[in-house]
Structure 1
Amino acid sequence: MVLSRVQQVVLLRLRIGHNRLNHHMATKLKLVPSPLCSCGKNQTAEHILQACPYHNALRDTTWPEETALQKKLYGPKEDLERTARFALQSGLTI
């Protein structure tokens, strides 16, 4: 079975960095005043998927074991589904 259209769009946006996270919206599009996340770090896909303390609980339930960013964005279908689900459940607009 293929990923849904929504899942595909979310993954593509996370992969290429052309998304609605603050880093892109501030540095490229000048639509928000700051590239920073609420935690004070640049709000990039890598930050959200790997390190943001505001998403630790969701990250821990989505990936019980430490998972490399490469696997989250380019891994097998199961990992891609997890990544898309995490992004959608995070409450962030990707």
Structure 2
Amino acid sequence: CGKVEHQCISGRCISNMFLCDGRKDCPLGDDESEKNCVSCPENLFRCSGKITICLVREKICDGARDCYDGSDEKNCGWRFVVSLATTFIYCFKRNFIF
């Protein structure tokens, strides 16, 4: 497997970004095992909560809840949204989930 890949027990290689994401990508599900999900690789964000989920940085503060507890959308500052249907500009706190 490559430097940014995880080798499944079966021998299959998957991207590290699929480790601990709440979905079994390895044939035996070992990419979601406790052994592999205690912490996240340095370049990934770890969701808060009992279940370890690791996210790529692009998923943080993007307006979509990817962590079960929504921790990827907390403490994000402000977000400005321009509606094309009206002439209004809306300002939402970044932790507002659409």
> TM > 0.5 between the two?
no
When normalised by structure 1's length, the TM-score is 0.26
More helix by share: 1
More strand by share: 2
When normalised by structure 2's length, the TM-score is 0.26
